Chain A
Amino acid sequence: MNWKRALLTPAIAIPVIGLFAWGMTRDPKYIPSPLPGRQAPAFALEVFAPGEAPFQKAPGEVIRLDSLRGKVVVVNFWASWCLACRDEHQDLSRAAMRYANAPVQFVGISYMDTRPNSLEWIEQMGGQAYPSVDDPRSRTAIDYGLYGVPETFILDVTGRVAHKQTGPITHALLSRIIDSLLAARPATETK
């Protein structure tokens, strides 16, 4: 046994072990999005599901993100074929109703879906409080770097992405973020 070699050689293992030890502190499934903190990509999309009073918009009317400046905007990507979307559906509609009198706008964007399927789904689920729009050829979904559905983006009054939620969102989380964004509004924005 050559002890000098025996004691020196294991040093090669140190960087490997170090790399793995560091790697254990990371979550490989976490994909950072460049969007939070930046201006949300603009869209102008046609309403196909009108939503309910007081948010009702006529089918065919176009919702422009630019025109929603001054409001907190909740953009939710969903699909009728997505099971996790069922979980969050009630929470979203409830939150929309809760902020009915505040400058908050909810918009559903249908992802990779057909109008009849989407409308049937809304009916099955007992309605959707806010309007949903079509996203032809998924252009907006691509702009937002959608990874899957559901994903929810919460924009502050200046149109900056304040929060990105991958997977179903809850009423509690929505309320907390919307409350903090409303509280942080510049004084001029309040009526």
Chain B
Amino acid sequence: MGPLGRGSVLIGLAVTAIAMVLIPVAVRRGRKDWLAIGYAAVHTNLLLMTLAMVAMVIALVSHDFSVGYVAQVGSRATPLLYTVISLWGALEGSILLWGWVLAMYASAVIVINREREGNLVPYAAAVMMGVMLFFAILLAGPANPFHPVFPVPPDGPGPNPLLQNHWLMAVHPPLLYMGYVGMTVPFAFALGAMLAGEVAQDSWMLLVRRWMLVAWAFLGAAIIAGMWWSYEVLGWGGYWAWDPVENASLMPWLTATAYLHSAMVQERRGMLRLWNVNLVVGTFVLTILGTFLTRSGIISSVHAFTTGTIGYFFLTFIALVLVGTLMMVAGNSEQLRTTGRFDSPASRETVFLLNNLLLSAFTLIVLIGTLYPLIAEAVRGVKVSVGEPYFDRMSLPVLTLLLFLMGVGPALPWRRTPEGTLRSRLLVPAAGALAALLFALALGSRQPWALTAFACVGYALTATLREFAIGSAARRRAHGESWPVALGRLVGANPRRHGGYVSHIGVLLVATAIGASGGGRIERETTLQRGDTLRVGSHLVRLKGVFGRQEPQRYVIGATLEVLSRDGATIDTLAPRMNFYPSSDQPVPTPDVRSTLAGDLYANLQTFREDGTSATVKVISEPLVAWIWLGGGVVILGAMIGLFAPRKRAAEEAA
């Protein structure tokens, strides 16, 4: 399989280079036939990257240790699922996946926009091939996954133990790459619009919005899946640690979120043009920057892969992208003048502007915190690490304000708000804020910021639900529809706006769950003899015993904990384990979680007596954690609704 994969990668590199050069030349010379060849090259590249992927999967599954990557991450004892997904368990494979996803996006852009006239799409395709060229060079040189190994080893070490311990590893990385790589498309359109001289028109922005929404949804899903993975695998009962790699995925998501809002201001009011272009290219730069930070070994992180020269390739690429896009954007800035202007501070565009400032501030907070260790070492020569206190303290006020704006924005119309309307629209949700505040006080929360955040969530949630209620009620009156039909048609009539509101509800659920699970967390760590019980909040658990067993790829030691009801009956069993992999000198903790909508009971095995008589366990009770994952799902659902085209008025009336 090695030669097949290697051949595909090398021919793909050549084909990519041809497409990148030929397409702009064809546009300049007005040669339709050359353009067709260029597009064919883009699709051929997808075919070749697919071949390379297939070759790699076959090599992994058939344990072909003559392929360097397989020898590095494969092992005969690893179960099939984890063998397949070890494709993205190390550097070379993840770059291969990146290249494949990028090739898919490039072909999709051409196919989906085949009807569109003008030079925008060809230039965008050429830009994507430029990015593709970089990854093709990585695959051909410093990150060659098909490096031949001789003599062929009989077996390999298997994937990184942390990455073969949970099924979420099959989900999180592909989602992440779909999101990360997807940000290339808006970037390519922005650059393409400038190259084609179409940047002064707003039509390219409308194209970008959907691609951005797709990438944004994937990236959001990936972030949530990553949080879930870290919660289920790392054993500390948390889901977010401000690790550089988490920050790297959060930053482009924040700027993309900002763009999804500010794009509406441009569309409706012709404002923020230059700002939007900057958000689009900035988002792409942040994805590359994030990859560089976590793949070059420049900043230490749990995700850092061992690296060779690849960091320097990334550095060169970032330099080229930064200089190139700054030149393009600055050079075209005069064409990106604002045509509209703000009429009144009490208008939706004002809220969007504030939302953008806050999201940008948040991005900057995260960026500074992530890069600060590097800056401090460069300027003062000291080693520092920036941890949770900085990020939490800095981001909490920003997040609280954002939550509040989520309640204000939908209530305000574009341009200006009539006095009386303003008062009633802003005051009704205040009842929701009060209710949420009381709820938080009842839960035992006393921190001022936490209470403020809860109140803001209550405010925004009421305001958002009110939009659905008022809209549906109006339809019921006008058309005599039942509640579900009215609601469905309301959303269908303007899927973009209501999809956005659904996403807001998702974000509010996530915010509530994060606040509650952090604030209401009860943690106990103790050594239990067999039969001993431990009380954690309202839960009671009993150690039933300690077990050990040999599995093909690992040795497992676990504790059996019974979860008891009030009357002493066993309602559930938890089996937190330690997995010992031959390739690692540290056992991999494998917590076990009993998850309900009300809250999770999280158990982790710390140490054990070898005779099985006692075990030290950490048991954590965390309220509402499951709502983080569910809320994430609601955010994605909103994005999916937002992708639908609005129902035609005529069809609606006829129905």
Contact = CB atoms under 8 A, between A and B. Distances in A.
Contacts, number: 73
Which among A16, A23, A26, A29 has the greatest number of chain B C-beta atoms within 10 A? A23
A28 B331 contact: no
A24 interface: yes
Interface in A1-59: 1-3, 5-10, 12-13, 16-17, 19-24, 26-29, 31-32
Nearest to B610: A117
Interface in B94-148: none
Given A3-B331, A5-B331, A10-B323, A24 B378 contact: no
Interface in B306-361: 311-312, 315, 318-319, 322-323, 326-334
Contact of A23 (B318, B327, B330, B378): B378
Contacts of B328: 6
A19 B375 contact: yes
A63 B373 CA distance: 40
B330 A31 contact: no
Contacts of B333: 2, 5
Nearest to A29: B300
B298 A23 contact: yes
B332 A24 contact: no
A2 B334 contact: yes
A20 B292 contact: yes
Contacts of B378: 19, 22-23
A84 interface: yes
A83 interface: yes
A77 B556 CA distance: 28
Interface string B484-520: 0000000000000000000000000000000000000
B332 A28 contact: no
A28 B299 CA distance: 6
A88 B480 CA distance: 81
B312 A13 contact: no
Which among A21, A27, A29, A31 has the greatest number of chain B C-beta atoms within 10 A? A21
Nearest to B375: A19
Contacts of A84: 585
A24 B312 contact: yes
A1 B371 CA distance: 33
A20 B318 contact: yes
A31 B383 contact: yes
Contacts of B329: 9
A17 B318 contact: yes
B373 A28 contact: yes
A4 to B, nearest CB: 9
A13 B585 contact: no
The SS class assigned to the A binding surface is helix
A9 B330 contact: yes
A23 B375 CA distance: 9
Contacts of B327: 6-7, 9-10
Interface in B277-324: 292, 296-300, 311-312, 315, 318-319, 322-323
Interface string B58-88: 0000000000000000000000000000000
Contacts of B586: 83
A121 to B, nearest CB: 12
Contacts of B377: 23, 26
Contacts of B585: 82-84
B374 interface: yes
A1 B383 contact: no
A8 B326 CA distance: 9
A19 B329 CA distance: 23
A17 B300 contact: no
A19 B330 contact: no
Contacts of B318: 17, 20
B373 to A, nearest CB: 7
Nearest to A6: B331
A147 to B, nearest CB: 12
B373 A13 contact: no
A26 B607 CA distance: 36
B298 A20 contact: yes
A1 B311 contact: no
Given A10-B322, A19-B374, A28-B300, A5 B330 contact: yes
A99 B322 CA distance: 59
Nearest to B373: A28
Contacts of A16: 322
Which among A6, A7, A8, A84 has the greatest number of chain B C-beta atoms within 10 A? A6
A64 B372 CA distance: 42
A9 B300 CA distance: 31
15 contacts: A2-B331, A2-B332, A6-B327, A7-B327, A9-B326, A9-B327, A16-B322, A17-B319, A17-B322, A20-B292, A22-B378, A23-B377, A24-B315, A28-B297, A83-B586
Interface of A: 1-3, 5-10, 12-13, 16-17, 19-24, 26-29, 31-32, 81-84
Given A23-B298, A29-B300, 16 more contacts: A1-B332, A2-B332, A3-B331, A6-B328, A7-B327, A8-B330, A9-B327, A10-B322, A10-B323, A12-B326, A17-B315, A23-B378, A24-B311, A26-B377, A27-B297, A32-B383
